[in-house]
Structure 1
Amino acid sequence: MISIDIDPDTELLPCDRIPPTATSLHLKVHRVEQTCLFDLTWGQGQHLAAALPWRSELLQHYQHWQQAYLQVYRHLEDPAPAPPVSPTSLRGRVQSSGGLTSAVDWSARLVEAEAQLLYDFHRWLRSPELFEIRAQIGHQAQGQPVDLYLTCHPLEVARLPWESWEIGSEFAAVHPLRLVRSPARIRAPANAPPPRRRPRLLVILGDETGLNFAGDRAAIGALNRLAEVVFVGWQPGCHSGELKRQIANTIAADQGWDGLLFAGHSNETALTGGELAIAPGVTLTVRELAPSLAIAQQRGLRFALFNSCSGLNLAESLIDLGLSQVAIFREPVHNQVAHVFLRRFLQRLAAHDDVHTALIQASQALKLEHALTYPSAHLVPSLFRHPDAPLYRIAPKGWRQQLRAWLPTRYEVAVIGVMVTLSLLPPLQRGLLDQRLWSQAIYRDRTGQLPAASPELLLVTIDNDSLIRADISNPRPMDRRYLARVVDKTAQLQPAVISIDYLLDRPLVSDDNILAQTLETAAQDDIWFILATYLDQTGQWLTPLPALGNPDWSWQGDIKLFGQGRLVPLLLSRYSPDWPLPLAYLMALADVLSSGHQSVDLSQGHQAVPAHLTSPRMQPASVTTSAYRLGQTWLHPIVDYSLPPQRLYSQIPAWQLLESSPPQLRQDYPQAVVMIMPGGYGEAGVSELNEDNFPLPAAMAYWRQRQAPANNSTVLLGGEVHGYLFHHFRHRHLVVPLPDLWLVLMAALLSKVIDQTSLHRRRQCIFLVSGSLLYAIISLQVYVAGLVLLPIALPLATLWFYRLPFLMRR
């Protein structure tokens, strides 16, 4: 034996790793006396049958063609002949057909006989009785590639050149239609062993009498960089029995084989499944090799190529034993033709084509490039295939090939382009976020994962009813006398902190003294005030009047809201006395400090606050800062409207507060923090009317319908946003959303990973459905447990659109 070790960077892709790429149709042709029965099956039990009269002229034309074929190649000169042991270079045992004169032009007769055979054969197949079957085959090839499995009986029918049947051209098929043969009897299933790291091919060199294997060895050199090739064969002085045992033992070797190639003489035999000439005067039948072949098949043998003659019985027997594909010549083949065919076949196999494509390409090369030198040679190669075995090929494994497998197709580029664009559109992102929080609210409600029912904040809303009852016709600016009454009544609740969500930057001389006195009086009862400030369009801070904002008992907080109340204000490093902290954050800070009578120096910004009120999520990440330049808010914490508002704060209209008794109020509203805020009237806002009223998030609408159906408001108040922010800062409840773009790209990558698996369409569909549901549930729970929002819609849409062509393939 000769062993050649070659490039391990390529492995032989096992059959179960090749996804099905073509529709399978099965055509059985059975001759009974003078009638041929055609039976076509496909899909899920679909079936067509037809009966066609047998034309005896076909056998006569075939015999004339065969006679001319044998005579042409018997007299064909070999430019590099073997020692003149035999008068022929045909790889088969052909009996003499009598004396012949040299004056006969057998090449011309062969061309004429081929034309006559194909003409009558194709005319017979175009009979009206077969139209429905032909039309169905052509129709199937309109949608996707078709593999037509042909089973013929008896042997004389199988000898006809069925591969030349051009059904696709008759019906203008859009996709390729390939004819492959399948034996009538297949008892062994197709095996699917695990992939082998290094492909292994066994080459058996048989009797070289009259032949020259130098061309075969040179052709096999095309695989020298892709596989480990082992040669075994007859050597001078080797006993026949010892040679048979050596071949049988090598075939059944423990390491196993991926492919088997035989070069030499072979013939058909009716009872032993074909025979191989392995040495001068020594033959080995398939029946003798059956035990070794069965073991080899279990150890990975998938494909066999017999670069020899008359292999119909050989192929049928080997497929019956469980091999996936067997390539043979149906007629005796000349030594030079065998070299040309093998060289082109192995070149295509080395280029990672499957064996069927390689055989078709090799046959086409004989037809188009060597028709004058080797006439009719393209008609004799055939491929037999196990119906349940995907086509055998050598899969690329180098880094370039691996990279190519991960590159997107044109369709995938279009899908990812659309999804990336959608993931970068702010209006669409706001809509998807709104629906995501709505689904999160439903999930929280159904699973009972809600915060404790103990609101820590009371919102006193000055709504339209309060304005009407107080005879206030123009609340811009808010009446300071009325505001003083509300502050005075609120102070009677004995809270620790009172926040006023109204700007007190402009003087109202007649009323300011009353409000100032009220604030001073409340401050003497250890009530801390958080007053509103705002940066206007000119870059000036609108701060409370000095008489209303004494720093001994008040802080000033920024009331600006971001993203229509959907984004949490972050604690930027520039915060200082000249750049106040967010209003809601100061409310949470004052609440924490009031319980322990601590104090902080806000001149140092947020760095001076207690550690349990800070979090890395309260400051923008570098990715977030960079995304701002692109108009994106990647990793910017969001306001969590999936939490029910009734669990975060209580609400009372100002008019009801003023009309209720202090003891009853203290009993009903024991909160330590109170915010006085606009209650939804149209004039609320700093620079524009209705500026303090935002569109109602879908999650808030869900909670109002569930817990406060009497509330018909369709707006989200700015004070309610501050209420959510107070809770988030107080408990460091900051939800960070992962960008849709990131998850879209990950979904595309996952689809390419799925491409590398062996999942068939049905299993892949089950995997996608179950995986999508599981991902949705996991993302909902990760939101609750980890405060991380995983997008659902666009990533799953990307994955499904990526897989759609494969799932729709019939």
Structure 2
Amino acid sequence: MSALPMFRLRVRQVDQSCIFDLTGPNGQEISATIKYPEQLTELYQNWQLLYRRRYELQSRARVSSKGGSGTPRSYDWDRELRIAETTLLNEFSHWLGQADLLLIRETIQWEADAAIKQVKHGKTAIPSHVDVLIECSPTTLARFPWESWKLIPKDAPTETVRIARTCTPSIPATYSRFRQGKIRILAILAAAPDLNHSLDQAALLSLAPRAEIKFIRCQEILSTLKRGSHIAELKQQVAKAIADEQGWDIFIFSGHSDEEVITGGKLELAPQVTLSISEIEPQLQIAKEQGLQLAIFNSCSGLHIAESLIRLGLPQVVVMRERIQDEVAHKFLQQFCHSLNGYNDVCTAVLRACQYFAPENISYPSAHLVPSLFRHPDPKLNLFRLEPSSLKRIWQQWRPSRWEAIAISTISVLSLMVPVQELLMDVRYWSQAIYRQTTKQFPATTSPSVTLLQIDQASIDRRGIDAYKIKPMSRAYLGELVERLQQLQVKVIGIDYLLDASTNEDYVLAKAMQSAIQQQTLFVMASWQNDAGQKMRTASTLAKSNLVLHGDVGITGWDIMLPSQIGCQEECPFAYQLALAYQLQKIHPSSQFSGDFMSDLQNRINAQLEAAENTKQIGDLQKQVNLPLGLKSVIDFSLPPQRVFHSQPAWDLLERPLEDAKSKDLRQQVVIIASGGYDQADDNFPMPLAMHHWQSAKKQAGINQEKLQSQILPGGVLHAYTVHHLLTNHNLLQIPTIFFVGVAAIAGKGLQRIIRNQSTARQRRSLALILGATLAYGLGGLQTYVSLAIILPWFLPSVVVWFYLCLVLKRKK
């Protein structure tokens, strides 16, 4: 059933008066009587005469047309016709604008205003149309251009009130379901040498992607028939095609036609071969029962044809009330089919085709007054339209409005901006740290396998290192640290200093490293790729490249730096190399390396992958590579630092006795020698809020140096976190926010569609539930982070959902 408001207006002429009876969509009835002006008939007849003379050449009305008027072609018929049209429309509008019809006009306009407000307030997605069906008696009244009646409210869209014709049917309508898949169209092209059917065919073929079209070309049929029997045979073939058992959705006739009261109108299939509507009533009735929805007569004088077909129970009929020029008929059908292809209903398609012939189009004066749509008065009948595919229909229902598209685009761009990502992640880390501490959900307590040996300002001061030896860091001091670690039998040492340049102290560090390497210590040295793309590695004066591993110390945000592919064909990240070396030394602490150290290490890794009992330790680590689709593993700052690594100042290592228990524990550790946050360090980063929280929890504020460090996050801390995550297989997965923005847009649109038609009270309950669901999703996201190590974005997706809901609330107000 159609949801659009529909009025039915009966106009009857009784003597010198006209009675207007309006029936509204809710059953209301209004009547008015006004005097009929005789000059209106004269003005119409004058307009009709000028119209026919303007278009008498190449018209589609040869069935009963009379000879030409003999008027010279040089006469300016266009000008005279426009004057006659303006005069007729002014008088017609004046007649319908009388005060006696005010209540009828206001009733229709009030309904139109209500329909517009419903759409504006988001109560319905149905276009704001009000349909008025006009039935005129006698036929002389039906000839007037009722479609030009200005019933549209002020400032309303042109198609708010749509006027069509109707009449009282003799047979009820058939409620046929729309055909699944392609519609079926039957096109009868009359044998008329003076008409150019190729243009009509081209217009119909524009529907071919969505329609199965069968052309009955009368000229071709006649060429195959014998003279004498051709008339009956041609009529029989046309009638048989109309009653095809598969049925039709659209029937169209293109050719000559004319009015005839007794037979309901007649069609010229060929010269001297006419077919009346009464002759094919049985076939039309069969076609209607089998789903015929629309009949189009792109021919002249179809008023009686339309009325007879509506009386037969056909849902919709499109006709030309007057004679129609061949070129105008082509243009109408072209515009009509174009509008149908845009998934408009037949009423809108006729209106827009008429708008094409509006008065400003000087080539076709008065052509816009001729086409009419006749509709069956049953309000349960839907207007014919082409149905889009399922996917397209879904898109039409779910596609964002202009403001929705702007909002989604803006939020999507924000979600891709690095500063916004960093800000949101910083707040998320902080909230997760508080959540962990509140719920006491920490990983099982184990002693960290990583020690961060920090050269902080206190270490520099205690050692008395000169300022010019801080950057680059004194090789002699690094050598002392390495020597101390070698004395403690530490097997994996990472030096987070780029030692690419030679200094006069290199021999001290070189000697300490050589001694440690001889005791099977694995060194991972910092490397860096400069702006020119060149790899910067440890100077050869310190250690030969085949005796140490190199790891790229580059860091992107808070990401876990992983190789781009298995096997580290390019240089591995620094922390990844440390974790790999630690696992290898843990499995075979007495391994001997010879020849090309890097090549030999890689061979040992491959050998471990092949050994079933040892695959897991190294194999799992080696398989960790960068993820596709923007997914990435990130550092988990919600874990307190003391659960991730041991932190020890460099001065403490040198001053603490070798026999001390803390010193002895270093033998089983990965030791990273790194800066401790002094001013000249190159790898100082802003401290995340979560780390501030953990510092505050340990009450580490209060000392000036601690306050200074509380504002700085040394790069060594990031490497320590990364090594811990790799060794413990703690993979915190961050899903790109842009994915969830898209999901939130779909969810927001769906919720919007649900609540916009609800009452105010029910909307409030729905919004309260959605608010609770938003908070529950946020809380669930906190727990998912802890339990599944997955970061589900919350803030921007929630903004998207509530933007959609706020649009509904705004329209409601």
C-alpha distance in 1 between matches for 2:51 and 2:530: 96
Please name the residue that 2:561 is paired with: 568
Secondary structure at 1:53 match in 2: strand
Please name the residue that 1:150 is paired with: 132
User: Which amino acid is 1:345 matched to?
Assistant: F
Secondary structure at 1:310 match in 2: helix
User: Which amino acid is 1:56 matched to?
Assistant: K
Secondary structure at 1:641 match in 2: coil
Secondary structure at 1:260 match in 2: strand
Shift of 1:595: 1.6
Please name the residue that 2:303 is paired with: 309
Please name the residue that 2:722 is paired with: 725
Secondary structure at 1:610 match in 2: helix
Please name the residue that 1:230 is paired with: 215
Please name the residue that 2:396 is paired with: none
Query: Is 1:119 aligned to residue 94 of structure 2?
Result: yes
C-alpha distance in 1 between matches for 2:428 and 2:447: 25
Taking the TM superposition and a 5 Å limit, the aligned residue runs for 1:570-609 are: 570=563, 582=574, 584-596=576-588, 597-599=590-592, 601-602=596-597
Taking the TM superposition and a 5 Å limit, the aligned residue runs for 1:12-23 are: none
Q: Deviations over 1:161-215 (max 9, x none)?
A: 33102355x734466546243769986557333332x96433275xx9xxx6843
C-alpha distance in 2 between matches for 1:303 and 1:441: 72
Secondary structure at 1:348 match in 2: helix
Say if 1:587 and 1:673, in contact at 8 Å, map to a contact too. Answer: no
Gaps of 5+ in 1: 1-15, 42-46, 91-104, 397-407, 625-633, 752-758
User: Which amino acid is 1:721 matched to?
Assistant: L
Please name the residue that 1:342 is paired with: 329
Shift of 1:55: 1.4
Please name the residue that 2:200 is paired with: 220
Say if 2:164 and 2:375, in contact at 8 Å, map to a contact too. Answer: yes
C-alpha distance in 2 between matches for 1:192 and 1:83: 34
Please name the residue that 2:707 is paired with: none
User: Which amino acid is 1:195 matched to?
Assistant: G
Shift of 1:439: 10
Q: Deviations over 1:39-76 (max 9, x none)?
A: 777xxxxx898956331326x56655666677778999
Please name the residue that 1:171 is paired with: 154
Query: Is 1:53 aligned to residue 36 of structure 2?
Result: no
C-alpha distance in 2 between matches for 1:151 and 1:484: 100
Q: CA RMSD in A?
A: 7.5
The 1:259–1:540 alpha-carbon spacing in structure 2 relative to 1, beyond 3 Å, is closer
C-alpha distance in 2 between matches for 1:639 and 1:107: 76
Secondary structure at 1:134 match in 2: helix
Task: Please report the TM-score for the alignment, with normalisation by the length of structure 1.
Answer: 0.58
Shift of 1:592: 1.4
Shift of 1:496: 4.5
Say if 2:159 and 2:348, in contact at 8 Å, map to a contact too. Answer: no
Q: Deviations over 1:594-652 (max 9, x none)?
A: 4224355345598667246699998999xx9xxxxxxxxx9796544388578983446
The 1:130–1:221 alpha-carbon spacing in structure 2 relative to 1, beyond 3 Å, is closer
The 1:714–1:394 alpha-carbon spacing in structure 2 relative to 1, beyond 3 Å, is same
Q: Deviations over 1:722-751 (max 9, x none)?
A: 12332566589899999999x89x979x99
Query: Is 1:675 aligned to residue 671 of structure 2?
Result: yes
Please name the residue that 2:180 is paired with: 194
Shift of 1:798: 11
- After TM superposition, the structure 1 stretch with the greater mean CA deviation from structure 2, 720-729 or 479-488, is 479-488
The 1:178–1:640 alpha-carbon spacing in structure 2 relative to 1, beyond 3 Å, is farther
The 1:309–1:159 alpha-carbon spacing in structure 2 relative to 1, beyond 3 Å, is closer
Q: Which has the higher contact order (CA 8 A, sep 6+)?
A: 1
Taking the TM superposition and a 5 Å limit, the aligned residue runs for 1:764-775 are: none
Say if 2:453 and 2:648, in contact at 8 Å, map to a contact too. Answer: yes
Shift of 1:250: 2.2
The 1:340–1:716 alpha-carbon spacing in structure 2 relative to 1, beyond 3 Å, is same
Taking the TM superposition and a 5 Å limit, the aligned residue runs for 1:622-701 are: 639-641=634-636, 644=639, 649-651=644-646, 672-675=668-671, 682-683=677-678, 686-687=681-682, 691-696=683-688
Q: How many residues align?
A: 696
Match of 2:605 among 594, 607, 610: 610
Shift of 1:120: 1.1
- After TM superposition, the structure 1 stretch with the greater mean CA deviation from structure 2, 285-294 or 387-396, is 387-396
Query: Is 1:382 aligned to residue 373 of structure 2?
Result: yes
Shift of 1:497: 3.2
Task: Please report the TM-score for the alignment, with normalisation by the length of structure 2.
Answer: 0.58
Say if 1:114 and 1:376, in contact at 8 Å, map to a contact too. Answer: no
Query: Is 1:181 aligned to residue 181 of structure 2?
Result: no
C-alpha distance in 2 between matches for 1:598 and 1:112: 108
Secondary structure at 2:177 match in 1: coil
Gaps of 5+ in 2: 69-79, 121-126, 269-273, 390-399, 610-617, 702-709, 758-769
Q: Deviations over 1:766-789 (max 9, x none)?
A: 9xxx9xx9x999x99999999999
User: Which amino acid is 2:684 matched to?
Assistant: D
Say if 2:495 and 2:674, in contact at 8 Å, map to a contact too. Answer: no
The 1:435–1:179 alpha-carbon spacing in structure 2 relative to 1, beyond 3 Å, is farther
The 1:349–1:443 alpha-carbon spacing in structure 2 relative to 1, beyond 3 Å, is farther
Say if 1:728 and 1:734, in contact at 8 Å, map to a contact too. Answer: yes
Shift of 1:432: 6.2
Q: Deviations over 1:238-285 (max 9, x none)?
A: 69998887555423435554421135346679xx9x676684677247
